[in-house]
Amino acid sequence: MKILFLVPPEILPLESSVPKALEGGKGYYPKLGLLYVAAYYERATGNRPVFIDCPPEGVNEETLLKRFREIKPDMVAMSIMTFNLLDALYTADKLKQADPNVKICLGGPHVNLYPAETLKQNAVDYVVFGEGEKIFTRLMTTLDACGHAPEKLKTIHGLGWMNDGKVYVNGAETELVELDDLPFPARHLVDIKQYNHLISEGRQFFTIQATRGCPAACSFCDIRKTQFRCRSPENVVREVEELVEQGVDDLFFVDDTITIDKKNLMQTLELMIKRGVKINYKISARVDTIHPELLALLKRSGCYRIHFGIESASPRHLKYLQKGQTPEKTKRACQWTREAGIGFFAYMMIGIPHETREDMMETVEFAKSIKPDYAQFSICTPYPKTELYFQMLGEGILDEDYWQRFAEAPSPDFKIKFWNKDFTEAQLRELQDECHSRFYRSPAYIMKQITKVKSWSDFTAKARMGTKILTSRLMSSR
């Protein structure tokens, strides 16, 4: 069978808690999950699939349909977050109109949460939930060998399928993939030059994943309390070396918290240093998972920025979010990071249930006091099926399971509501602007950036990011 792995054009994305203007200007990340699935399939079957990533390739609906007719795939596989479900369904519909025989398979974070609801949508034939590498390959080899045979499809865990208009969702796959057994993501199927990031430190950006899962319990996050697994240092360093050979000089580890197993990470960093790997990279971490020894190794091996989920200045609100962190730990970690010569990005949150305006402004002052290179103030958003979402439903802050309604009947009219009993959405957006403005316009921040600028590209990156943030209101209201 001929397979097209597809990232659809962005036509109907939902606005997230970060203003669209800002989100849109951040550049293009590769779809690592889909590239992993493609790589595993290719290695297992020897068939070369096609991969089209429409947004960075500048492929619109018309061009996509033209290429689709040329390629004539039997199966189109797309990865979806809740935020681009509508794009995937719209595109699936158009492709089916162009060729009613084509099959559509969807996977990714939204499908993991709502497999049956997604399968019920027009034009969807198969859904894969959980880690997709093996499941998708099993599906394809089964279809190749036996066609759409219900007795065979029934045996594939993690698969949902349609038969005679009826929805079948098999049990979940409980066996997690062995990370070292996975091939590296199928970067050879895309043009890596098309990926970039607004605040990067190199010329060629790409992403990598060294671990999966996170044992922490943050209530707003999908990944909470999932089994943490690491790739071996040798396996990770080989991929980093391969990326460097391909011209990548700016890498982002998309791991949820790469610093959970410090011993393994330190061995990886030591190996990078020993092998003389030259790369700039950034990671995400919890403030309570780092220490000076680890930071020294991160710095020596090329880490230039850590993204910390700090969220709030208030112990009460941190507790509400089950963050398991304290402002003291945050201050200490930020100071260590600065002392190690590594920059950091502070993810902050406002509009947490029961938060007052004063609390939010305290969060801004706290953000200023820890002196990050960048800070982002997101509006607390109860994402689908998260603990926070259920908590807010339980407290009556949300009056209905609106994500369920969206999953069952996704409509372009749907708008995420930034629910909060005390503030309207417009007020929350105003407050968000005020937080960004207070942070980025503070004389101390401006002075720090001027004195810290290392190079022209560093300066332009900061200037672009600052301009984006400060003008985001203007742009999003257009």
Residue 468 CB, nearest approach to ligand B12 (Å):
14
- Rounded to the nearest 10 degrees, the angle between the axes of helix 233-245 and helix 262-274 is 40
22 interacts with, out of ligand B12, ligand SF4, none, CB within 5 to 8 A per kind = none
Q: Which amino acid is at 46?
A: G
Q: Residue 476, class by beta-carbon neighbours within 10 Å (0-12 exposed, 13-18 middle, 19+ buried)?
A: middle
Q: Does residue 384 belong to the site contacting ligand SF4 (CB under 6 A)?
A: no
Place of tokens 């158009």: 94
110 interacts with, out of ligand SF4, ligand B12, none, CB within 5 to 8 A per kind = ligand B12
Q: Rounded to an integer, what distance in angstroms lies between the CA atom of residue 136 and that of residue 129? A: 10
SS3 label, residue 44: helix
Q: Does residue 216 belong to the site contacting ligand SF4 (CB under 6 A)?
A: yes
268 interacts with, out of ligand SF4, ligand B12, none, CB within 5 to 8 A per kind = none
Interface with ligand B12 (CB under 6 A), residue from 39, 51, 79, 94: 79
Q: Rounded to an integer, what distance in angstroms lies between the CA atom of residue 173 and that of residue 135? A: 8
Q: Does residue 68 belong to the site contacting ligand B12 (CB under 6 A)?
A: no
Q: Does residue 107 belong to the site contacting ligand B12 (CB under 6 A)?
A: yes
Q: Rounded to an integer, what distance in angstroms lies between the CA atom of residue 314 and that of residue 71? A: 55
475 interacts with, out of ligand B12, ligand SF4, none, CB within 5 to 8 A per kind = none
Interface with ligand SF4 (CB under 6 A), residue from 22, 86, 119, 221: 221
Q: Encode 268-320 in three state secondary structure.
A: HHHHHHHCCCCCEEEEEECHHHCCHHHHHHHHHCCEEEEEEEEECCCHHHHHH
Interface with ligand SF4 (CB under 6 A), residue from 55, 109, 309, 382: 309
Q: Rounded to an integer, what distance in angstroms lies between the CA atom of residue 260 and that of residue 280? A: 21
Q: Does residue 286 belong to the site contacting ligand SF4 (CB under 6 A)?
A: yes
Q: Does residue 81 belong to the site contacting ligand B12 (CB under 6 A)?
A: yes
Residue 345 phi, psi (nearest 5): -115, 125
377 interacts with, out of ligand B12, ligand SF4, none, CB within 5 to 8 A per kind = none
Comparing CB distances to ligand SF4, the nearer of 91 and 337 is 337
Q: Rounded to an integer, what distance in angstroms lies between the CA atom of residue 26 and that of residue 29? A: 9
Interface with ligand B12 (CB under 6 A), residue from 64, 77, 199, 237: 77
Q: Does residue 110 belong to the site contacting ligand B12 (CB under 6 A)?
A: yes
222-241 residues in contact with ligand SF4 (CB under 6 A) are 223-224
What letter would DSSP give residue 380?
Answer: P
- Footprint of ligand B12 (CB under 6 A): 13, 16-18, 23, 29, 31-34, 36-37, 77-79, 81-84, 105-110, 112-113, 128, 131-133, 136, 209, 221-223, 254, 256, 378, 383-384
